[in-house]
Chain A
Amino acid sequence: MFFRPLPWDYGVRNLWRRPGRSALTMLGLATVVFLVLLVTAFVRGLEATLAVSGDERVVLVHSLGASENIENSTMPGRSSGLLAASLRRIESRFGERYVSPELYLGSEVTTAGSSVPCKGLVRGVTLAAPLVRRQFQLQSGAWPSAGEVLVGRLAAAKLGRDPRELASGQTLHFEGRDWTVSGQFAAGGSALESELWCPVEDLQQAMKRQDLSLVAVTVTDAEGAVDLAEFCKERLDLEWQSTPETAYYAALQRHYGPVRAVAWLIVVLVAGAGVFAGLNTMYGAVVGRVRELAMLQTLGFSRRAIALSIVQEGTLLAAGGSLVAAAIALPLVSGAAVRFTMGAFNLRLDSTALIIGMLTGLAIGIVGSLPPAWRALRMPVVEALKAI
């Protein structure tokens, strides 16, 4: 060490000399870090939902040009049979081929607790859907029979309704008829968890439609996906297109890119505001202690040692504030459901988000203390000793 630092306790004790100011500074820093954690959890949750939503062995076949808006896709009802009969590399078990015909749409859903309809995502499915959607887990109740609907774990959040309104036995109203909730399902945190699943034939009858939106196919290997693409190119009359499910969700990731960019911008701006708040407080602390700092220099402590002690104080306050913010955010933010256009997702306060929040807090503490510390270094000792 090139200089003798001030005792560690000195910086710690200084924080207790002005408890009101220290507490307010820590509260301000905790607020900033809490906001950073909140926005980071939002971005991490959105990214995680879209990342787990694609299965690399699943290929979506839909009408040409509808890859970015599958709700608008329309295919004949016989499409799944045609695909199952035409292609070799499709997964099968006990003679059952993994080909899932689906009718997918956004619909106005009314729950028992409110007469105001809200936008929900409805998927008409067959028993092949759980074969293709491997993350599917029936959490409670039973697979829906005629007139019944199975609700995803986050469907209530997507609808903006109390989860009790979507409990088993409750009645939902959409597409002109009532549906009884038969149970709940999870899908590994994917976008499917925001949906309502009902038998595809029932949904077709309710909507007076005979077509499908898409056929989801599980292929045995990568060549199977190429087979599907080639089939779509050969059957030009059908005007179909195949999109690997991972590519579909990757496109959505790109679609939400600006949202993520804005969220990160907010993180930077909030952190920037935190730096200035910390800067202001530490300046105040230094200005009020000019004589004390000059006295320390007179006693033989170098300017660098004094500056280090000021940075230590700022860093301790920031670390304390960061811990308080994390302690509040973990039970309050982590796991909270958020609605967005293509479903709902849980805010994700994982280790990455926590590290970002903590590092931001520490950075605010250090960066906010440096200019006041620099000011302390520059002040002439004699002048400072005379300061009032």
Chain B
Amino acid sequence: MQVRHIVLPTFVLTIATVIGCGISTAPTTTTPTAAAPDARYVLAEEPADAQPVIAVRMASKDGDEVTITGRIGGDVDPWVKGRATFVIVDPSLHACSEREGDKCETPWDFCCDEIGHLNQSKATIKIVDDAGETIATDARELLGVKELQTVTIRGQAKRDEAGNLTVLGKGVYVKR
């Protein structure tokens, strides 16, 4: 009789303990939080002459001064951890979250867009100091930005033989 009294609570307790331990496999990444932006690199007014990414890729040459606008994304992880470098895509592209019924967990990678040439719609942004070195602070901390935000960057275009576009940014306007 007593054994029966002991068996049931012990069994329930055992199962509850094990379930309580959790079997979660979700990755535990430390994402820098959007802090107060650094005023030295943030533009108060949106530049009037901004061009979308595709247009800048078509028209710019290495060393040109450009003003480019786009949305942060184009990759599951558009950031470089610990450095003010990130990827933007042309604002004409649609994020997965803008499609009805879509439940994509990383809508900023633009994987649902049927554009077929996502790479030709992307540009890499590096926020640089006066010496031309990339700022060694995560862009999310430096500018207070996050995925899918629209940003406009004023800076210098850097082109390579493969057609990649990198903008060495001096100032960023963040559309809130």
Contacts and interface: CB of A to CB of B under 8 A. Distances in A.
A27 interface: no
B27 A236 contact: no
A264 B134 CA distance: 47
Contacts of A251: 27
A279 interface: yes
Interface SS of B by simple majority: mixed
Contacts of A233: 75, 80, 85-87, 124
B162 A264 contact: no
B10 A272 contact: yes
A269 B83 CA distance: 48
Contact of B82 (A226, A255, A280, A283): A226
B59 interface: no
Interface in B1-44: 2-3, 6-7, 10-11, 14, 17-18, 21-25, 27-28
Contacts, number: 76
B69 interface: no
A255 B164 contact: no
A230 B135 CA distance: 12
B154 interface: no
B17 to A, nearest CB: 7
A371 interface: yes
Interface string B67-94: 0000000011000111101110000000
Given A226-B82, A258-B25, A234 B18 contact: no
Interface residues of A, number: 32
Nearest to B28: A254
A239 interface: yes
B68 to A, nearest CB: 14
Contacts of A236: 87, 119, 122, 124, 164
A387 interface: no
B162 A235 contact: yes
Nearest to A258: B23
A276 interface: yes
A261 interface: yes
A375 B2 contact: yes
A234 B122 CA distance: 10
A257 B124 contact: no
Contacts of B83: 226, 229-230
A251 B29 CA distance: 11
Contact of A229 (B7, B76, B81, B119): B81
Interface string A222-258: 1100100110011111110000000000010011011
B166 interface: yes
A327 interface: no
A275 interface: yes
A65 interface: yes
A226 B14 contact: no
Interface residues of B, number: 36
Contacts of A257: 23-25
B3 A283 contact: yes
A206 interface: no
Contacts of A235: 160, 162, 164
A223 B164 CA distance: 23
Interface in B76-127: 76, 80-83, 85-87, 119, 122, 124, 126
Contact of B163 (A237, A239, A371): A237
Nearest to A370: B6
Contacts of B160: 235
Contacts of A356: none
B81 A226 contact: yes
Contacts of A64: 75
Contacts of A283: 3
A261 B17 CA distance: 12
B80 A276 contact: no
- 8 closest residue pairs by CB, A with B: A237-B162, A261-B23, A229-B80, A230-B80, A265-B18, A234-B124, A257-B25, A258-B23
Given A257-B24, A261-B23, 16 more contacts: A65-B76, A226-B83, A229-B81, A230-B80, A230-B83, A237-B119, A237-B162, A254-B25, A257-B23, A258-B23, A264-B21, A268-B14, A269-B14, A276-B7, A371-B2, A371-B6
10 contacts: A65-B76, A222-B82, A234-B124, A234-B166, A257-B23, A258-B23, A261-B22, A268-B14, A268-B18, A279-B3
Interface of A: 64-65, 222-223, 226, 229-230, 233-239, 251, 254-255, 257-258, 261, 264-265, 268-269, 272, 275-276, 279-280, 283, 371, 375
